[in-house]
Amino acid sequence: MIKKIVLSTMLSASLLMPQLTYAAEEPKAPMFDDVSPDYRFFEDIQLLLNQFVIEPASNFYPFRPMNRLDVAVGIARAKNLPPSKQPSQFKDIDVTTTEGQLVQAVADAGLISGFPDGTFKPTKTVTRGEMALFLQRSFQLIEGELIHFTDMSPRVASYEAVQSLIHAGYTTGFPDGTFRPGAPLQRGEAAHFLAKAVQDSSTGFYLPGSYVAGKTIPSGEYLYVSIEEEGKFTLRHRSEQTHTRITPANAPYYVTIKQGDQIEFANGFLYRSGFIRHQPKLIQTTGTYKVGYDLPIGTYRAKVAPNYKEGTLRILNDSTVGAPVKFQTTVQDFIIFSVERGDYIELEHVTMEPYTSN
């Protein structure tokens, strides 16, 4: 019997206690009438049912084309994104429904965008190449050694994304040496890709030590959290530049590491971004927070934390070391500000909470 292992960490009271799942439970729901045990993606569909990425129904329709709505909802659930409470940015997405809210959540996180005419086109069929792009962006897959397909070249938009799928072991393509990036993605194939992403995310948890990006740990964005005591995180670039971050206990810290970078930390835990998610109503004192993931787009009120005379608030473009600063201020009393999709908020001795004008 496959067992489910859950690890809980002691974050601050303002953070959601995470449950980190490393394997699927025994099935909680019956399989679909049109998916037999000898179907090649049977176990993938079973895993997605167990992890609540897909819902039980009479049929799954594994050979039907996958549409953009189902892909967005699947990615949102695979990453455990909460339904967004933001107004819809798409003319054809209804955010009064759970599915619409999940589409908006994926858009808030910057994982899937819409079209220039302001639509999302939820019923539009997704191609295999498009799915590669969605997966690379959503699960931060890294490009590996080039594997040549007869129907792929650097001129194809999904070229690098397909290489990252191959490197991560998602697929090997077809026996005739093609990948078929323009072919419609079947629902069964989509289940296979999402199941692999769910399984990979369960290995995105690292204990204190030293790691090299691209060798002992994948490149990409990570969240570092020290537990119960002060933490120290060191990043050494291939250029020999070294950056050290001292973090208070329980303070979350986002960082993006690139191929060849070396990281070290002596306390706490490191998670692949998206593996653990905060749900703070009041964001405490010090740390970095990802807009559209840890907290929604909108307006906030920030003030100096108790026992401090002043603090610092920064809004960054991304989580790389030395990322451009969009906004920075010293907080001596309080400040009201707004954040957009893709922003990162960095706090030092500042608390903040959602703000609604009277």
Residue with tokens 């329709």: 61
Residue with tokens 């303070």: 251
Among the listed residues 217, 225, 231, the one whose alpha carbon sits nearest the alpha carbon of residue 261: 217
* Confidence at 355, pLDDT banded by 50, 70, 90: confident
| List of residues 6+ apart from 81 with CB closer than 8 A | 75, 102, 105, 106, 109, 277, 293
pTM recorded for the entire structure: 0.61
The pLDDT value given to residue 291: 85
The pLDDT value given to residue 274: 64
Q: Can you state the angle between helices 187-201 and 68-78, rounded to 10 degrees? A: 20
Provide the mean pLDDT of the chain.
83
Among the listed residues 7, 23, 37, 3, the one whose alpha carbon sits nearest the alpha carbon of residue 207: 7
Among the listed residues 214, 205, 74, 54, the one whose alpha carbon sits nearest the alpha carbon of residue 141: 214
Q: What are phi and psi of 290, to 5 degrees?
A: -100, 120
Strands ordered across the beta sheet of 252-257: 205-206, 269-272, 220-225, 252-257
The pLDDT value given to residue 277: 54
| pLDDT tens digits for range 329-341 | 999 989 999 998 7
| pLDDT tens digits for range 247-303 | 888 888 999 998 889 999 988 888 877 655 555 555 667 889 888 777 778 899 999
Question: Beta-carbon neighbour count of residue 333 at 10 Å?
Answer: 8
